[in-house]
Amino acid sequence: MSDTAYIQRRGEIRTYFDRTAVEGWKRLAGNGPLSAIRETVRRGRAEMRTAILSALPADLSGWRVLDAGCGAGALSVELARRGADVVGIDVAPSIVEFARDNLPTDLGRGSIAYAAGDMLAEELGQFDAVVAMDSLIRYEPETAIDSLARLAARTERQIVFTFAPWSPALGLMHRAGKLFPRGDKSPAIVPVRPERIAMGIDDRLQSSGWRPGATRRISSGFYTSQLMGVSRS
């Protein structure tokens, strides 16, 4: 992976979410009324959070978990309630601030430390598990796979992540977005075929003991994402 390409893309994502999309994401994270389209996204994201949690142990006591791309913190909260010590990191400082401001007090045995920054930063330390919900979907497949390999090098047990599964419609929209870019648009979601991700995991992670596990696709109106899990044998 080109570090320059990763850093440039990360900067584009930060600019979009920290300036253009932050108010929309705050509404999406709340319980207030939304448009019909955004409501399907809210439902889809809630279903995906449930799927990610189902791929992890019910008791995470003693686990240190990285929520890579934590957004408004809904998944971080549920991980902490299972007993995990969670590091929630997101590239957009304004969204991290929102997560801190809305942190509930009923976390039980777990804890959450939020930070704005790079999910791949080595100074974050070692983890028992990493979750990355929709935080890799705007990177090219090679970059996403390399990011997973970097995270795996500092993870002991499990990684659960999502990607945008390729379909003819999503592939067409992605190509059209490249042909007709607009500065005010979200950095494009990059669709990828599941077998491409699986091959990348075999190539980059298998030699260090990682094996593929659960996979599940969630489709809810305008939200489509696919979960994939890997665990260290």
pLDDT tens per residue across span 28-66: 988 899 999 999 999 999 999 999 999 999 999 999 999
Altogether, the residues listed in the chain come to a count of: 233
For residue 128, which amino acid is it? D
Q: Is this prediction's pTM over 0.85?
A: yes
Please list the alpha-helical segments (H only) found in the chain: 3-15, 22-29, 36-54, 74-81, 93-101, 141-152, 168-179, 194-205
Residue 109 has pLDDT above 80, yes or no: yes
Q: Read off the CATH number of the domain in which 33 is found.
A: 3.40.50.150
Q: What pLDDT does residue 5 have?
A: 84
Q: Domain span at residue 135? A: 3-232
Total domains, the chain = 1
Q: Measure the CA–CA gap between 87 and 120, rounded to whole angstroms.
A: 12
